């Protein structure tokens, strides 16, 4: 798969989960490159800080697990920026490390609501405008744990395996001109990784450095990659 240069024509990009980590870093890279970007997250305080760094971004508070809130965000984004060329489902939660039988039902259900139903809510809200225009790429963030397993992260694995299947089926359904890609971002030192590996996470590159490789790669994904299980190089 080929990555595209960051100085390519201006694109309209939507990213979920932009309050921190990979989402925030990607948003900053795309804004720096002159693209039109809309982002959402649950934390209004975090979005205020992000807006100070990226005043040109369209930022809204939205919990992707709330279908009505997502519909409202989509209407606002499409009205102001148009249908997205690139829709990135990044918002996700990680479980507290524990064997599956010790994970509380509420925690498991919340992860499913955000990581899986949240992705479906975003696709449902934005895809009709992309189909009407006849082009666009949906990138659903997966994980190495969406293609493998490990102890004490069973709920997270379950959600990311679901994303892989969801994305593959979506790719089969899309009309010509559109694509859906499941993307493993790799291992990055983020708050989520520290929840799993504590101090071991610091051995990996941070979100800012990662985003400088990932953003051009993501921009290079197109119809040729429809249905692909991609990994940021």
Number of CB atoms found within 10 A of residue 96's CB = 13
| pLDDT (tens digit per residue) in 41-82 | 999 999 999 999 999 999 999 999 999 999 999 999 999 999
Dihedral angle over CA of 125, 129, 134, 138, nearest 10: -30
Instruction: Examine the pLDDT at 193 and tell me if it is beyond 60.
Output: no
pLDDT band with cut points at 50, 70 and 90 for residue 186: very high
Measure the CA–CA gap between 22 and 29, rounded to whole angstroms. 11
Tell whether the model's pLDDT for residue 1 goes beyond 50. no
- Would you please indicate which residues are annotated as catalytic (active-site) residues? 156
- For the segment 76-122, what is each residue's pLDDT rounded down to a tens digit? 999 999 999 999 999 999 999 999 999 999 999 999 999 999 999 99
Residues contacting residue 233 through CB under 8 Å, at least 6 positions apart? 3, 213, 217
Q: Region 121-149: what's the mean pLDDT?
A: 98
For the purposes of burial, counting CB atoms within 10 Å of the CB of 5, is it exposed (0-12), middle (13-18) or buried (19 or more)?
exposed
Q: What percent of the chain has pLDDT over 70?
A: 91
What number is the average pLDDT over the span 177-192? 89
Q: Enumerate the domain spans of the chain.
A: 12-231
Q: What is the predicted pLDDT for the residue at 194?
A: 60
* pLDDT, mean of residues 132-149: 98
Mean per-residue pLDDT over the chain, rounded = 93
For position 4, what pLDDT does the model report? 43
Q: What is the mean pLDDT of residues 125-136?
A: 98
The reported pLDDT for the residue numbered 2 is 37
User: What is the CATH T-level fold of the domain 12-231, as seen in this structure?
Assistant: Rossmann fold (3.40.50)
Predicted confidence at residue 200, as pLDDT, reads 58
């Amino acid at each position: 798969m080929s990555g595209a240069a960051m100085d390519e024509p201006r694109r309209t990009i939507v990213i979920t989960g932009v309050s921190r980590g990979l989402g925030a870093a990607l948003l900053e890279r795309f804004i720096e490159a002159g693209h039109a970007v809309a982002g959402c997250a649950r934390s209004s305080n975090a979005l205020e800080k992000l807006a100070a760094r990226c005043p040109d971004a369209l930022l809204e508070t939205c919990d992707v697990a709330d279908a009505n809130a997502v519909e409202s965000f989509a209407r606002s984004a499409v009205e102001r920026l148009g249908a997205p060329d690139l829709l990135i489902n990044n918002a996700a939660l990680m479980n507290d490390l524990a064997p599956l039988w010790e994970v509380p039902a509420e925690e498991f259900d919340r992860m499913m609501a955000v990581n899986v139903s949240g992705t479906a809510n975003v696709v449902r809200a934005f895809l009709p405008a992309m189909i009407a225009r006849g082009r666009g790429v949906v990138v659903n963030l997966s994980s190495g744990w969406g293609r493998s397993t490990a102890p004490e992260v069973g709920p997270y694995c379950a959600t990311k395996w679901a994303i892989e299947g969801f994305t593959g089926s979506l790719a089969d359904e899309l009309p010509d001109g559109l694509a859906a890609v499941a993307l493993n971002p790799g291992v990055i030192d983020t708050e989520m990784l520290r929840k799993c590996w504590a101090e071991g996470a610091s051995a990996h590159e941070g979100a800012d450095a990662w985003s400088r490789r990932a953003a051009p790669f993501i921009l290079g994904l197109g119809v040729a990659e429809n249905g692909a299980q991609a990994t940021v190089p």
